[in-house]
Amino acid sequence: MDKYNIYEFARLIGVSDRTLRRWDNEGTFCAYRTPAGRPYYTDTHYLQYTHSDSRLIKNKSKNNQAQGSYKQIPPTAC
């Protein structure tokens, strides 16, 4: 099982490290912790993320109704 630090995993799934930290703090997509308290992710996290049915939802804001945009939503992993 591979381990990824927060920066590696963010690059792997295409989000920022700040997004991963926020998801972890909110409890929506939690990282494992080393004994020193550093967050890390594994292949299991990757599979949870890539197989989530709710990853993309339509973001309907006033500024982008015509073209539409998508917002990434993590799977619940905690």
32 close to 42: Cβ distance less than 8 angstroms: yes
According to the model, what pLDDT value does residue 72 have? 60
Angular region, 14: left φ>0, alpha ψ -120 to 50, beta rest: left
**Could you say which architecture CATH assigns to the domain 3-72?**
Orthogonal Bundle (1.10)
Question: Tokens representing 32?
Answer: 């494992």
Model confidence over 4-40: pLDDT tens digits? 999 999 999 999 999 999 999 999 899 999 999 999 9
* Entry pTM: 0.69
Query: pLDDT grade, residue 71 (50/70/90)?
Result: low
Is 55 within 8 Å of 74 (Cβ atoms)? yes
| Whole-angstrom distance, CA of residue 78 vs CA of residue 76 | 6
Mean pLDDT over 41-53 rounds to 85
Domain boundaries, the chain: 3-72
Percent of the chain exceeding pLDDT 90 equals 55
